[in-house]
Amino acid sequence: MREPTPSPTPTVVMCPGGPMLLRGKHVVEDADGNLHETRRPVSAVCRCGKSALQPWCDGTHKVLPERDRP
């Protein structure tokens, strides 16, 4: 099976109460100015601030009270 061809321009999907999904090749700059290159066709960027794998979502948002979700 072939891997999907990366999109030349990233697309963004905001998940209600969860991460921001990025499709396509891109670089994410974290709050400290560190650059993180994506390695997957789809990457999930944490929006709740609670992930242990910043800047990536690790699913922690699912156990947060609704008021603390993005």
- Any long-range contacts for 47-50 (C-beta under 8 Å, 24+ apart)? 47/14, 47/18, 47/19, 47/20, 48/18
How many residues sit close enough to ligand FES to count as binding (CB under 6 A)? Answer: 12
Pairing of strands 42-45, 20-23: antiparallel
Based on the shown chain and the rule CB under 6 A, indicate whether residue 60 belongs to the binding site for ligand FES. yes
Which residues in the 3-32 window bind ligand FES by CB under 6 A? 18-19
Q: From the CB of 60, what's the least distance to ligand FES, in Å?
A: 4
Return the number of the residue (18 or 38) whose C-beta is nearest ligand FES.
Answer: 18
Based on the shown chain and the rule CB under 6 A, indicate whether residue 48 belongs to the binding site for ligand FES. yes
Return the number of the residue (8 or 16) whose C-beta is nearest ligand FES.
Answer: 16
